[in-house]
Homo-oligomer: A and B are copies of this chain.
Amino acid sequence: MREVLLSTGDRVVLYDTSGPYTDPEVETDVRAGIAKLREPWIAARPRRTGSQDTQLSFARRGEITAEMEFIALREGVPVEKVRDEVAAGRAVIPANVRHPEIEPMVIGEAFLVKVNANIGNSAVTSSIEQEVEKMVWATRWGADTIMDLSTGRDIHQTREWILRNSPVPVGTVPIYQALEKVGGKVQDLSWEVYRDTVLEQCEQGVDYMTVHAGVRRDYVPLTARRKTGIVSRGGSILAAWMIAHGRENFLYDHFGELTAILREYDVTYSLGDGLRPGSIYDANDEAQLAELKTLGELGRIAREQDVQVMIEGPGHVPMHKIRENVELQKQLCDDAPFYTLGPLTTDIAPGYDHITSAIGAAMIGWYGTAMLCYVTPKEHLGLPDLEDVKQGMIAYKIAAHAADLAKGHPGAQAWDDALSDARFEFRWEDQFNLALDPQTARSFHDETLPAEPAKQAHFCSMCGPHFCSMRITHELRRMNDAEDAAGVVG
A residues sitting closer than 8 Å to B (CB atoms) are: 122-125, 151-152, 176, 179, 184, 186, 220-221, 223-224, 227-233, 235-237, 239-240, 243-244, 246, 278-281, 318-320, 345-352, 354-356, 358-359, 362-363, 366, 377-383, 385, 394-395, 397-399, 401-403, 405-408, 413, 415-417, 419-421, 423-424, 431-432, 434-437, 440-441, 444-445, 447-449, 460-470, 472-477, 479-480, 483, 488-489
Contacts and interface: CB of A to CB of B under 8 A. Distances in A.
B462 A352 contact: no
Nearest to A464: B123
Contacts of A345: 362, 398, 402, 405-406
A461 B408 CA distance: 41
B230 A472 contact: yes
A246 B488 contact: yes
B464 A431 contact: no
Contacts of A347: 416, 419-420, 423
21 contacts: A151-B464, A220-B480, A227-B417, A230-B472, A233-B469, A243-B483, A243-B489, A318-B402, A319-B366, A319-B405, A346-B401, A348-B434, A348-B435, A349-B394, A349-B436, A351-B436, A355-B398, A358-B358, A359-B363, A359-B398, A379-B462
A363 B406 CA distance: 13
Contacts of A474: 229
A437 B349 contact: yes
A441 B236 contact: no
A28 to B, nearest CB: 28
A358 B355 CA distance: 8
A362 B319 contact: yes
Nearest to A459: B124
Contacts of A179: 466-467
A469 B236 contact: yes
B413 A281 contact: yes
A356 B356 CA distance: 12
A470 B489 CA distance: 70
Nearest to A420: B279
Given A123-B464, A382-B444, A462-B122, A435 B349 contact: yes
Contact of A476 (B240, B432, B440): B240
Contact of A280 (B151, B413, B464, B465): B413
Contact of A221 (B228, B407, B465, B480): B480
A449 B124 contact: yes
